Amino acid sequence: MAAGNFTLYGLAKEAALEGRIDFDTDTFVAILVTSSYTPSVNADDTYSDLSANELPTAGGYTVGGQVISPLTVSHSAGTVTVDSATNPSWGSSTLTAKYLVVVRRAGGSLVAGDLLVGYVDLNDGGGSVSTVAGTLSVTWNASGLFTLA
């Protein structure tokens, strides 16, 4: 499935400018959350804001998501692009999710204070997406995760 628009959390922008997120060297993971989570772009900033809504370890999903690092940062004609060559995929899965959230993981596993970067609504037409003994694959936008112009 093609990913919709990637929405950066406002506090992730601040964290990046303050040097608390380094898109070139930090570890980033893609996690899946349920429709019980409602993103708050200007208030949510850490994993603790959504951890209760991450899918449980079951049905082909493991809490903590998938590593999508390394990210790449490029610059062309005044536009900076952040991208990932890793398209997350959960094979042989039976799951239901509403959002894919990218989190900057500071250690070996996610902890409450890990920083949220951004999210994608997996079904911008409403509702969630589901698999039954199938594969949920997310393909990032061909223009990258996000750009700064």
* 108 in any annotated domain: yes
Number of domains observed in the structure of the chain: 1
Domain contains 33: yes
28 lies in some domain: yes
Which residues contact residue 7 at a Cβ distance below 8 angstroms, ignoring those fewer than 6 apart?
A: 39, 41, 118, 119, 120
For the residues 120-136, what does the mean pLDDT come to? 93
Residue 1 pLDDT greater than 90, yes or no: no
The reply to whether 77 falls in a domain is yes
State which residues form the domain around 124: 6-148
The Cα–Cα gap between 100 and 18 comes to 25
Amino acid at 149: A
User: Is 21 within the bounds of a domain?
Assistant: yes
How buried is residue 77: exposed, middle or buried, by Cβ count under 10 Å (0-12/13-18/19+)?
Answer: exposed
pLDDT tier at 2, thresholds 50, 70, 90: low
Does a structural domain hold residue 134?
A: yes
Q: How high is the pLDDT of residue 19?
A: 95
Query: Could you count the other beta carbons within 10 Å of the beta carbon of residue 131?
Result: 19
pLDDT tens profile 88-113: 999 999 999 999 999 999 999 999 99
The pair of structure tokens assigned to 90 is 């959960």
The whole-number pLDDT of residue 66 equals 97
pLDDT score recorded for residue 124:
82
Q: Is residue 139 part of a domain?
A: yes
Helix H, strand E, coil C: the string for the chain is: CECCCEEECHHHHHHHHCCCCCCCCCEEEEEEECCCCCCCCCCCCEHHHCHHHECCCECCECCCCEECCCEEEEEECCEEEEEECCCCEEEEEEEEECEEEEEEECCCCCCCCCEEEEEEECCCCCCCEEEEEEEEECECCCCCCEEEC
Distance CA 69, CA 5 (A): 19
Q: Is residue 1 part of a domain?
A: no
pLDDT tens digits for 27-66? 999 999 999 999 999 999 999 999 999 999 999 999 999 9
Tokens encoding 133: 């003994």
- Looking at the chain, the whole-number percentage of residues with pLDDT higher than 70 is 98
